[in-house]
């Protein structure tokens, strides 16, 4: 290309301006000179080295020998802070820290159609230097879709390369370090095919009822061995209480100072007490009170007789704890 030749020759350009014209229908209009976008090859220019490195499975940045600033990607190889001094290529680690909690959008960027929800953030890879740019990053989890709580500020991330690379920023993405199996963490470059993204393991669903039932049953087992708790329960007499809580039902059977917990709701109970939140009984088993939630209303009771036995039940976990602390629990049978 000769020095004065432009991409579009001068004679192709229209004079800037607006002019009157008559349409084919004979109606006068105005038209303006404008241009049309065309298809073209765009050079990466100075950034070519960065994208070539991605193809090779490396992550590089530009480092200023004077101020030590690291640019990644290197949008320039001449430090803007030091009179455009030449910057040096620096090989960067394949891990970094998320610079800010990443937004998750249901509108993925152009070219990422179908990849919603989409998590995008900025990774601090040159953490050792005082001045560094953050690398724009696509964030992917092996645990299913991206969700709030995974890509939070400061979380450590591992750089992963697509197996097939062509020299685009989409050749790489980042996965939480904790999700990378230990044997793969030091591999550089780590390839996407080395990780398991299909069939993520579903998270464990918390089942508060099971936890509550276990705690109450454990309390009953110890209460039998606690002389103080046996005395508390003797004061109750013989009672069978149905307990209905969110998530399940059980029965408290009290007889001769002995507390028994059955998983099923016994149809022959004296009365039923209810709480939406099963944790009312977890707190009780851990030394709390049933009288308090009854007074507040989070524990429903049918009558004053039911309320009358709560003080004795309140003492049971405390008595167990005292006898346990003093070594007075009878041996396990
Ligand atoms: Zn500099």
Which of the listed residues 164, 194, 224 is the one where a domain comes to its end?
Answer: 194
Looking at residue 195, what is its pLDDT?
Answer: 96
Q: List CB contacts of 266: < 8 A, sequence separation 6 or more.
A: 240, 242, 251, 253
Instruction: Write down the pLDDT at residue 3.
Output: 58
User: Cis omega (within 30 of 0) on the bond before 20?
Assistant: no
Residue 13 lies in a domain: no
If you measure from the C-alpha of residue 131 to the centroid of ligand 1, how many angstroms do you get, rounded to a whole number? 9
Domain assignment present for residue 40? The answer is: no
How far is ligand 1, taken at its centre, from the CA of residue 290, in Å?
68
Span from the CA of 56 to the centroid of ligand 1 (angstroms): 27
Same domain, 230 and 313: yes
Q: Is residue 331 part of a domain?
A: no
Q: Does residue 168 sit in the same domain as residue 292?
A: no
| Residues 179 and 66 grouped into a single domain | yes
Q: Exposure of 241 by Cβ count < 10 A (0-12 exposed, 13-18 middle, 19+ buried)?
A: buried
Token couple for 185: 């963490």
Give the Å distance between the CA of 69 and the centre of ligand 1: 6
User: So what's the pLDDT on residue 1?
Assistant: 43
In this structure, are 190 and 212 located in the same domain? no
pLDDT value for 5: 60
Residues 150 and 226 in one domain: no
CA of 80 to the centre of ligand 1 (A): 7
Residue 306 CA to ligand 1 centre (angstroms): 78
> Domain check: are 70 and 156 in the same one?
yes
**221 and 310 both lie in a single domain:** yes
What is the 192 CA–ligand 1 centroid distance (Å)? 35
| 60 and 133 co-located in one domain | yes
User: Which pair of structure tokens corresponds to residue 148?
Assistant: 């709030």
Chunked in runs of 10, what are the mean pLDDT values of the chain (333 residues)?
A: 62 85 92 84 92 97 96 94 96 96 90 88 90 94 94 97 96 97 97 94 81 94 96 94 92 95 85 93 94 95 94 96 93 80
- For residue 119, being part of any structural domain is answered with yes
The answer to the question of residue 17 being in a domain is no
Residue-range definition of the domain harbouring residue 318: 208-325
Q: Do 310 and 221 belong to one domain?
A: yes
Q: How far is the CA of 79 from the centre of ligand 1 (A)?
A: 5
Residues 174 and 218 in one domain: no
Domain count, the chain: 2
Asked whether residue 27 is assigned to any structural domain, the reply reads: no
Does 229 lie in the same domain as 184?
no
Kind of pairing, strands 156-161 and 190-191? parallel
C-alpha 162/C-alpha 189 separation (Å) is 10
Same domain, residue pair 154 and 214: no
Look at residue 29 and tell me if it is in a domain: no
- In a domain? residue 73: yes
Q: How many CA atoms lie within 13 A of 171 on its CB side?
A: 18
């Amino acid at each position: 290309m000769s020095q004065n030749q432009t991409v579009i020759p001068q004679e192709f350009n229209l004079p800037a301006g607006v002019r009157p014209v008559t349409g084919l229908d004979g109606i006068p209009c105005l038209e303006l000179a404008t241009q049309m976008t065309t298809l073209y090859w765009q050079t990466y220019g100075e950034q070519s080295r960065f994208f070539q490195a991605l193809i090779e499975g490396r992550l590089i940045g530009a480092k200023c020998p004077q101020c030590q600033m690291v640019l990644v990607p290197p949008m320039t190889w001449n430090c803007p802070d030091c009179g455009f001094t030449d910057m040096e290529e620096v090989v960067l680690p394949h891990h970094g820290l998320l610079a800010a909690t990443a937004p998750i959008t249901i509108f993925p960027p152009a070219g990422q159609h179908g990849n919603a929800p989409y998590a995008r953030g900025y990774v601090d890879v040159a953490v050792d230097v005082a001045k560094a740019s953050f690398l724009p990053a696509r964030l992917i989890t092996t645990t299913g879709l991206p969700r709030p709580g995974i890509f939070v500020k400061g979380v450590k991330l591992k750089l992963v390369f697509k197996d097939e690379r062509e020299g685009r920023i989409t050749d790489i993405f980042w996965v939480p370090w904790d999700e990378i199996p230990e044997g793969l963490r030091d591999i550089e470059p780590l390839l996407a095919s080395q990780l398991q993204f299909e069939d993520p393991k579903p998270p464990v669903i918390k089942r508060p009822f099971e936890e509550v039932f276990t705690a109450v049953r454990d309390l009953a087992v110890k209460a039998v061995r606690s002389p103080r708790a046996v005395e508390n329960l003797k004061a109750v007499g013989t009672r069978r209480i149905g307990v209905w809580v969110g998530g399940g039902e059980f029965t408290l059977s009290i007889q001769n100072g002995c507390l028994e917990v059955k998983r099923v709701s016994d149809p022959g109970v004296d009365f039923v007490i209810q709480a939406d939140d099963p944790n009312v009984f977890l707190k009780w088993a851990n030394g709390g009170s049933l009288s308090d939630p009854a007074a507040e209303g989070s524990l429903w009771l049918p009558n004053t007789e039911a309320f009358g036995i709560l003080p004795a039940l309140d003492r049971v976990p405390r008595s167990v704890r005292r006898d346990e602390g003093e070594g007075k629990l009878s041996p396990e049978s």
